[in-house]
Amino acid sequence: MKSILHLLEGDQTLGRGPRFWCTALVVLVGALVFGGLASSFAVDTASYFLVWVFMALGLALMWGLSGTLSFGQTAFFGLGGYCYAIVATNFGPDNGLTLVALLLSVFLVAVIAAIVGLFMFFGGARGVFVSIITLAISLSLETFLSQTAGPQWKLGSALIGGFNGITSMPPITIPWFGSDYEVTGRAFYYAIVAVLVLTYLALRIVGNSRFGDAMVAVRENPRRAEALGYNVKAVLLAAFVLGSSLAGVSGVAFTTWGLYVSPDTMGLAAAAMPIVWTAVSGKDLTATFIGTILLLALSQTLAIYGSQYAYVALGVVLIASVLTCPEGIVEKAMRLSLSQSGPGNKVRTTSRARWRNA
């Protein structure tokens, strides 16, 4: 147990030592107090922000550690959400079957990610082609789901609903003696915080483990990694499945938060959002965590003026950030304040590619 805990700190994650962990603890306590004292509207909004962090962390792992820029996070987000919606609608809230729906959804996302990853990585796809293929998949899924408006489109008793999505489904319901307990509102907030904290800590451990080192080797020099005995394709696949499953978790969380899911969450704009968050924040896990919440808060604030203005502002922030601060604004700030050097964590700009055609 001790040796696992010691992996909470390492080359692949920023932040170490008592000062860092005390700060984190303070933030956690603050979050828990907030959940009890703030208005229900504020708590619901906070839950909404936290829902997306899983997906962002998954991308930070895939892109930051193994070098795979996947545009598929939204596809897996959608798959997770729709799966929960369909299963929960069909089975209903009794007997804890919503919990089954939750687990089944994440599991299904993992399986599909494994199949897609198998095709891609073991078929030899690399680099930008992985990005484009996953983008095509996200867009395809959105296109498909948008067309499923008619009554013939249903699975069991759940209408897929086309552009409008699925809007009535039971929330996560925990069976209890007497009356069942619905996980909504503040309870939902605490549940999300708990799961998120555990996920964050688990990802830190994974990142600093031997698997984390393997991912770094594969990212930095796949040929050399292979010559050192690393099964490059398997490493890429594992990272992809893990990162994509986290997107599925976000999808389920989102759907159980608002009790609705629609293809909106999967179009071109949505597909690029996790990329925006990770690119602007920096690919370190903690940087992504913090940055995603900040950016979501920013979008939310700007959306008051009209979503077009919010998008334009977000676009400008992204361009400025990538061109001037390629390692990410939040990450840079963290490094300066922690004065921690971590060359293993440096963002690598892709080396010049040579395209052999003609």
Binders of other proteins among residues 235 to 254 (CB under 8 A) are none
Give phi and psi for 348, each to the nearest 5. -95, 125
* Of 188, 314, 198, the residue nearest 256 (C-alpha): 188
Which residue, 23 or 308, has its beta carbon nearer to other proteins? 308
Neighbours of 327 (CB within 10 A): 20
Q: How far apart are the first and last CA of the chain?
A: 57
Residue of 269, 294, 302, 325 interacting with other proteins (CB under 8 A): 269
Q: Which is nearer to other proteins, 88 or 225 (CB)?
A: 225
Question: Closest distance between other proteins and the C-beta of residue 155, in Å?
Answer: 16
Residue 135 vs 166, nearer CB to other proteins? 135
Q: Which is nearer to other proteins, 198 or 228 (CB)?
A: 228
What part of residues 124-183 is at the interface with other proteins (CB under 8 A)? 124-129, 131-133, 135-137, 139-140, 143-144, 147
Say if residue 35 is exposed, middle or buried (CB neighbours under 10 Å; 0-12, 13-18, 19+): buried
CB-based contact 119:233 (threshold 8 Å): no
Nearer to other proteins (CB atom), residue 176 or residue 352: 352
What distance in Å separates the CA atoms of residue 139 and residue 55, rounded to the nearest whole number? Answer: 17
Count of residues that interact with other proteins, criterion CB under 8 A: 77
What is the footprint of other proteins within residues 301-320 (CB under 8 A)?
306, 308-309, 311-312, 314-316, 318-319
User: Looking at 192, 279, 287, 295, which residue binds other proteins (CB under 8 A)?
Assistant: 279
- Near other proteins in 175-234, by CB under 8 A: 210, 213-214, 216-217, 220-221, 223-224, 226-232
Number of CB atoms found within 10 A of residue 32's CB:
14
- Which is nearest to 246 in space by CA: 135, 136, 109? 109
